Structure 1
Amino acid sequence: MTWLVTGGAGYIGAHVVRAFLAEGMDVAVVDDLSTGHRRFVPERVPFLEADVNDVEALAAFMAEQSVAGVVHVAGFKYAGVSVSEPLRTYRTNVAGTAAVLQAMEVAGVEAIVFSSSAAVYGTPDVDTVTEDTPTAPESPYGESKLIGEWLLADQGRARGIRHTSLRYFNVVGSGAPELPDTSPHNLFPLVFTALAEGRVPRINGDDYPTEDGTCVRDYVHVADLAAAHVTAARRLAAGRRLRPVYNLGSGTGTSVRKIVEAIVAQTGADVLPEVHPRRPGDPARIVADGSAAAADLGWAMRHSLAQMVSSAWAAHSAAPG
């Protein structure tokens, strides 16, 4: 039984691939390498370089590899950039998801795990979000992920596919030194790069009603996230009924100050973060209740904050220049 990981040459997708292999499960990868890296995919893993909108190529590859299910990670994942590039976002995330579902139908593949996002919640009016918290995305990216969830649900009703969507919060760390986060928009690589260039990291606002005055966010280790995908795939393959969506969050959260200070300490830099004014619209606290995922998918935070930072720094330091 082979599972296809779309976007399997990217930061998160590559960790999902490793998680499947660690469980002795066959896996294949499709990626257009627009942001992924061919070196992230182990040589023994069948690989197709293709756009997920290419239904014919995807369906043929699924049939060739005897694919039983798909983990759909491929996507345009930059919420801020999506505001200025909405059409690119919708083409990749909405049309691309529809194309993956169409290819599955052609190839007779009946199970899918979808990479969704906390961005579907927008700025919630509660401190801790559950799967029942109203969705109110505030960017084309968040909207595109919510539409992706709808597409899975609609195809489930129409064609009987088994599916679930995993809503990510802030994914950090590394499960292997050769798998760094290379995104130009994510917090950890941004701070690492700033420190390497002699710039001081910044904190936006220190007067929030939180323990240290800075915003509290939910950070999860990428290896823990990847393991949840494998469990979801196993459950779907076994015919088990899963909820349509799950939050993958810590339930507690970490302040921005603690995150930045932990990164600075790990790198050995002799600087203090600069405090800047609040950014408009930043809520004081967004944390996810992951109890549903814990019950159904064995979800757990197995890595501490220190491990998140040290593993990310080790991978960043080992990355090719």
Structure 2
Amino acid sequence: MSELCMITGGSGMLGRELAFRLASLGRPVRIFDIAEPRLLPDGAEFVKGDLRNPADTDPACVGVSVIYHLAALDASSSGDDIRSVNIEGTACLLESAAISGVRKIVFASSSDVYGSPPAQSPCHEESPLVSTGPFSMSKIAGEELCLSMAASSDIKASVIRMPIVIGPGLKDQHIMRWIVNRAVEHKPVFLGAGGRAIRHYVDSGDCADALIAASDNDVSAGHCFNVGYDRPHTDEEFARAVIRAAKSFSIIVPAPRAISDAVLQIARATGEDPVPPDYRDGVFGDSWLATDKARALLGWRPQKRLPVSLHDFMRWHKRNLLKNIG
């Protein structure tokens, strides 16, 4: 029988994608989350619990061989909540994993660990880690906790550093959602820095494949891996791809930095701020990743391109809007 895989945060967008991919490979899946998923793969098990509570994490880890640790609060949450869930929760999970004899843990990290924006792009796995807010700090700490636990126990740990993940179910408050909403409503899309800022994205399915590749390859132990599309995209390229996928009549309005700052200030004053605190300094800066290491050691490479991912996302987004209207 295949080894039992547990996904923390398995009710989220990436967690669901990962659960179905593991199930398609014939692997038993346990989802651990504070919220019940809307849809489970056949045969998958759901365990409701809080990462910070050993009374929840201890029994959840029993019988588990591989943990994919995806559960985390994003940058839109308060600093105290982020530290509590993302750092203290990770520490609690690792203690339970060690007690239960878990064989491997794959930690879902973020490109934000390089800074927002990073000092230099592309970012390599050896690039300096820079905390620019509670979320990025929590991801740096989570990486250190997992790798330190592995160094002092029989658990093997690896880290996947992902940029902006695109796929059906995306609900974060990154500026990309602001662009999507503007396009769906056929409103002008204002782009700071003239739309020339460069960012990296990755499809949720490709990201799930990277997580599985890390768990399946012993060579990944103790390593961090960047993932992303074959190439990064400028904000203008991204916005044009969104507009095409949405079949929108929106126009793109590249704006100088000063005007962009003024627009963001107005948005914040009206309660429609599209940029979480961790990203405000980096919204106009370049941030992209070198993914050579994942290709070389894991044999991973992205299978989708940005237009395809956006088409899949937009189809889900429109269905979701219709459901809410109904």
Common topology (TM > 0.5):
yes
5 Å-filtered alignment, 1:211-230, equals 214-230=196-212
User: 1:77 aligned to 68, 74, 79, which one?
Assistant: 74
5 Å-filtered alignment, 1:66-105, equals 66-78=63-75, 81-82=76-77, 85-105=78-98
5 Å-filtered alignment, 1:7-26, equals 7-26=9-28
Identify the residue that residue 228 of structure 2 maps to in structure 1: 249
Identify the residue that residue 40 of structure 2 maps to in structure 1: 41
Q: d(CA) in 1 for partners of 2:244 and 2:164?
A: 20
- 1:194/1:19 CA distance change after superposition, 3 Å: same
Q: CA deviation at 1:99?
A: 0.9
Is 1:169 equivalent to 2:163 in the alignment? yes
Identify the residue that residue 189 of structure 2 maps to in structure 1: 201
Alpha-carbon contact 1:56-1:103 (below 8 Å) kept: no
Q: d(CA) in 2 for partners of 1:318 and 1:139?
A: 34
Q: CA deviation at 1:277?
A: 3.5
Q: d(CA) in 2 for partners of 1:271 and 1:116?
A: 34
Q: d(CA) in 1 for partners of 2:308 and 2:283?
A: 27
Identify the residue that residue 181 of structure 1 maps to in structure 2: 170
User: 1:124 aligned to 92, 112, 118, which one?
Assistant: 118
Is 1:190 equivalent to 2:178 in the alignment? yes
Identify the residue that residue 293 of structure 2 maps to in structure 1: 292
Aligned residues: 297
2:120 is paired with a residue whose SS is coil
Q: d(CA) in 2 for partners of 1:271 and 1:168?
A: 29
Q: d(CA) in 2 for partners of 1:243 and 1:298?
A: 17
Q: CA deviation at 1:161?
A: 1.3
2:231 is paired with a residue whose SS is coil
Is 1:317 equivalent to 2:318 in the alignment? yes
Q: CA deviation at 1:283?
A: 5.5
Identify the residue that residue 5 of structure 2 maps to in structure 1: 3
Paired amino acid for 1:144: S
In the TM superposition, what whole-angstrom CA distance separates every residue of 1:255-306 from its partner, at most 9, and x where no partner exists? 1111111111221221202333325554642221111111122221211121
Alpha-carbon contact 1:250-1:288 (below 8 Å) kept: no
Moved more, 282-291 or 20-29: 282-291
Identify the residue that residue 31 of structure 2 maps to in structure 1: 29
Q: d(CA) in 2 for partners of 1:31 and 1:268?
A: 36
Identify the residue that residue 177 of structure 1 maps to in structure 2: none
Q: CA deviation at 1:201?
A: 2.5
Identify the residue that residue 160 of structure 1 maps to in structure 2: 154
CA RMSD of aligned residues (A): 1.9
Q: d(CA) in 1 for partners of 2:316 and 2:220?
A: 37
2:286 is paired with a residue whose SS is coil
In the TM superposition, what whole-angstrom CA distance separates every residue of 1:141-180 from its partner, at most 9, and x where no partner exists? 0011000111112211222310001111111134xxxxx2
Paired amino acid for 1:193: N
Paired amino acid for 1:31: D
Q: d(CA) in 1 for partners of 2:17 and 2:65?
A: 20
Q: d(CA) in 2 for partners of 1:146 and 1:130?
A: 15
Identify the residue that residue 209 of structure 1 maps to in structure 2: none
TM-score if structure 1 supplies the norm length? 0.86
Paired amino acid for 1:67: V
Alpha-carbon contact 1:216-1:256 (below 8 Å) kept: yes
Identify the residue that residue 51 of structure 1 maps to in structure 2: 50
1:71 is paired with a residue whose SS is strand
Q: d(CA) in 2 for partners of 1:234 and 1:32?
A: 27
Q: d(CA) in 2 for partners of 1:313 and 1:13?
A: 19
Is 1:141 equivalent to 2:135 in the alignment? yes
2:38 is paired with a residue whose SS is helix
Alpha-carbon contact 1:188-1:312 (below 8 Å) kept: no
Q: CA deviation at 1:42?
A: 3.0
TM-score if structure 2 supplies the norm length? 0.85
Q: CA deviation at 1:9?
A: 0.3
Alpha-carbon contact 1:4-1:29 (below 8 Å) kept: yes
Q: d(CA) in 2 for partners of 1:105 and 1:117?
A: 24
For structure 2, list consecutive stretches of 5 or more residues without a partner in the other structure. Answer: 262-280
Q: CA deviation at 1:245?
A: 0.8
Q: d(CA) in 2 for partners of 1:199 and 1:149?
A: 40
1:51 is paired with a residue whose SS is coil
Alpha-carbon contact 1:116-1:145 (below 8 Å) kept: yes
**Identity level (%):** 22
Q: d(CA) in 1 for partners of 2:284 and 2:120?
A: 10
Alpha-carbon contact 2:23-2:41 (below 8 Å) kept: no
Identify the residue that residue 233 of structure 1 maps to in structure 2: 215
Q: CA deviation at 1:43?
A: 5.4
Q: CA deviation at 1:135?
A: 0.8
Identify the residue that residue 305 of structure 1 maps to in structure 2: 306
